[in-house]
Homo-oligomer: A and B are copies of this chain.
Amino acid sequence: MWQLLQFPLCPFSRKVRLVMAEKGVPVELIREYPWERRDEFVDVNPAGETPVLIEPDHGLTLIGSQPIAEYFDEAVERSPLIIGDAAMRAEIRRLVEWFDEKLFREVVEPLMVERMRKRLVNKESPDTRVLREAMRIGNNHLDYLDYLLDHRRWVAGPAISLADFTAAAHLSVIDYLGALDWRGHRQTKDWYAVMKSRPSFRPLLGERMDVIVPPTHYDKVDF
Contacts and interface: CB of A to CB of B under 8 A. Distances in A.
Interface size class of A (residues with CB under 8 A): 20 to 34
B144 A98 contact: no
- How many copies of this chain does one complex carry? 2
Given A64-B94, A94-B63, A97-B64, A89 B102 contact: no
Nearest to A144: B46
Contacts of A68: 90
A74 interface: yes
Interface in A51-99: 60-64, 66-68, 70-71, 74-75, 86-87, 89-91, 93-94, 97-98
Contacts of A98: 47
A67 B97 contact: yes
Contacts of A64: 93-94, 97
A89 to B, nearest CB: 7
A60 B144 CA distance: 21
Given A46-B144, A66-B97, A71-B90, 18 more contacts: A47-B98, A60-B86, A60-B87, A62-B87, A62-B90, A62-B94, A63-B90, A64-B97, A67-B89, A67-B91, A67-B93, A67-B94, A67-B97, A68-B90, A70-B89, A70-B90, A70-B93, A71-B86
Interface of A: 46-47, 60-64, 66-68, 70-71, 74-75, 86-87, 89-91, 93-94, 97-98, 101-102, 144
